[in-house]
């Protein structure tokens, strides 16, 4: 799933409007009853600078996919989620989050149809991607316009670090934009204290990796290719320097072989991958709905690389240097971005990163 810019992205809380207050003692399992701070109104802005103001915490939330749902569960407001698209497969979310996620109403297994979304009764739609136009398929309809969202009484927010990546003007080499998404969503939902806890946990994991590998010169760090298997194999779709994955790879102590392309994604040719000849390849497959199905997809991706004449001679393929880490936790904003940093670093530097 690729971000495409459409209408901007909300996620940055304007200065001075975050409230320390009573915060949100949200539990990791997303249980009901998370404390709601009284720091309203809260205003967020989109990529174009347009402002959206919340006079109170939203009570009925629909999420576009599993990543937005997971963030809300971690903030402790899972009881407010009334529907989702692209639901997480059973067992694919960590720990007690899974049980809560499975109770959320599935409005669509893919993009939520326009009529169903507008008729959901939601007062907030949390959208991970700037546009889903090429992903819908027959009968899915077009995405609602902002006027249609307004007429339905739905405020429309995005995860900026993912949805707005293509508009970024600088390379993304840290998780500050992801942290901003979490902080802003915490302010909007009245769970700022819990959001701060999540961000602090992410920083602790990333800082530990940074400390462990800090003595390794950039030029000595291994090269790394994120193989987006589900984007198609005829022409590889690569992650460029504005994508969250570039930050994850960089923080883990690797060098994204396509960090020299500016934007979030780009289609290229296999000859470019061969020229880069990466030391490591991540098999970035998307959630198939179960751990067993995901394992089969990883097997398929690896077998494709091993059998394809254009890739079987790559250094990483010949050495068996594959990482089986899901696409979403690498390329989409979330707490697990920090976990992915640590997992990659442990693989690349097993003697340094515990």
Contacts of 98 (CB under 8 A, 6+ apart): 88, 90, 91, 92
pLDDT at 196 over 60: yes
**Of the listed ranges 77-91, 134-148, 159-173, 290-304, the one predicted with least confidence:** 134-148
238 and 273 housed in the same domain? yes
pLDDT of residue 118: 97
Rounded Cα distance, 99 and 190, in Å: 23
pLDDT of residue 341: 98
7 inside domain: no
Average pLDDT along the chain: 87
Mean per-residue pLDDT for 130-158? 72
Place of tokens 């976990």: 339
149 inside domain: yes
178 and 243 housed in the same domain? no
195 and 83 housed in the same domain? yes
pLDDT at 273 over 70: yes
63 and 185 housed in the same domain? yes
Q: Tell me which residue of 338, 48, 285, 5 sits closest to 165, measured CA to CA.
A: 5
The alpha carbon of 103 is separated from its chain's Cα centroid by a whole number of angstroms, namely 21
228 and 150 housed in the same domain? no
Q: How many independent structural domains does the chain possess? A: 2
User: CB–CB of 206/251 below 8 Å?
Assistant: yes
pLDDT at 91 over 70: yes
* % of residues, the chain, pLDDT over 90: 74
**Domain's final residue, options 200, 223, 253:** 200
pLDDT of residue 308: 97
- Which residues are registered as beta bridge partners of 44? 13, 52
**Domain's final residue, options 200, 231, 263:** 200
**Domain's final residue, options 169, 200, 231:** 200
187 and 59 housed in the same domain? yes
43 and 124 housed in the same domain? yes
At 36, is the pLDDT very low, low, confident or very high (cuts 50, 70, 90)?
low
pLDDT at 14 over 60: no
306 and 219 housed in the same domain? yes
pLDDT of residue 35: 56
128 inside domain: yes
DSSP E strand stretches across 121-242: 124-127, 155-158, 223-227, 237-239
219 inside domain: yes
pLDDT at 48 over 80: no
67 and 113 housed in the same domain? yes
Mean per-residue pLDDT for 146-170? 91
206 inside domain: no
Task: Give the sheet arrangement for strand 255-256, strand by strand.
Answer: 255-256, 223-227, 280-283, 322-323
Mean per-residue pLDDT for 61-72? 96
Per-residue pLDDT tens for 211-238?
999 999 999 999 999 999 999 999 999 9
pLDDT at 110 over 80: yes
At 17, is the pLDDT very low, low, confident or very high (cuts 50, 70, 90)?
very low
Range of the domain at 138: 12-200
pLDDT of residue 149: 95
Q: Tell me which residue of 209, 203, 227, 225 sits closest to 349, measured CA to CA.
A: 209
Q: Name the more confident of 50 and 157.
A: 157
220 and 323 housed in the same domain? yes
At 61, is the pLDDT very low, low, confident or very high (cuts 50, 70, 90)?
very high
1 inside domain: no
At 95, is the pLDDT very low, low, confident or very high (cuts 50, 70, 90)?
confident
pLDDT at 5 over 50: no
pLDDT at 11 over 70: no
135 inside domain: yes
353 inside domain: no
**Of the listed ranges 25-29, 114-118, 140-144, the one predicted with least confidence:** 25-29
Rounded Cα distance, 126 and 156, in Å: 6
190 and 338 housed in the same domain? no
pLDDT of residue 220: 97
223 and 185 housed in the same domain? no
pLDDT of residue 10: 35
Determine if the peptide bond prior to 212 is cis (ω within 30°).
no
Domain containing 167 — which CATH number? 3.40.50.1980
């Amino acid at each position: 799933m690729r971000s495409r810019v459409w209408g901007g992205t909300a996620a940055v809380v304007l200065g001075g409007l975050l409230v320390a207050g009573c915060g949100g003692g949200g539990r990791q399992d997303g249980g009901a009853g998370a404390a709601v701070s009284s720091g309203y109104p809260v205003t967020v802005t989109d990529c174009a600078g347009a402002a959206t103001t919340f006079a109170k915490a939203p009570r009925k939330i629909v999420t576009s996919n599993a990543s937005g749902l997971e963030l809300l569960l971690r903030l402790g407001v899972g009881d407010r989620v009334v529907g989702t698209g692209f639901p997480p497969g059973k067992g694919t979310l960590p720990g007690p989050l899974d049980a809560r996620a499975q109770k959320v109403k599935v409005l669509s297994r893919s993009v939520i149809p326009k009529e169903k979304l507008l008729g959901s009764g939601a007062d907030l739609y949390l959208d991970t991607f700037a546009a889903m136009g090429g992903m819908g398929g027959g009968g899915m309809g077009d995405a609602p316009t902002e006027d249609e969202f307004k007429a339905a009484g739905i405020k429309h927010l995005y995860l900026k670090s993912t949805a707005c990546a293509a508009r970024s003007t600088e390379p993304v080499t840290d998780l500050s934009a992801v942290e901003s998404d979490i902080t802003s969503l915490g302010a909007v939902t009245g769970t700022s204290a819990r959001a701060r806890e999540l961000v602090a946990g992410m920083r602790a994991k990333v800082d530990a990796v940074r400390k462990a590998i800090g003595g390794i010169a950039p030029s000595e760090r291994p090269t790394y290719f994120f193989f987006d298997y589900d984007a198609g194999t005829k022409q590889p779709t690569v992650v460029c320097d504005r994508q969250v994955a570039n930050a994850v790879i960089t923080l883990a102590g690797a060098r994204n072989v396509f960090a020299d392309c500016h934007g979030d994604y780009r289609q290229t040719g296999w000859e470019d991958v061969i020229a880069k000849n990466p030391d490591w390849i991540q098999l970035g497959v998307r959630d198939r709905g179960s751990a067993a199905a995901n394992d089969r997809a990883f097997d398929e991706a690896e077998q494709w690389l091993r059998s394809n004449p254009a890739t079987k001679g790559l250094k990483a393929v010949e050495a068996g240097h594959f990482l089986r880490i899901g696409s979403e936790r690498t390329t989409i904003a979330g707490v697990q971005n920090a976990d992915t940093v640590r997992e990659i670093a442990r693989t690349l530097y097993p003697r340094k990163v515990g």
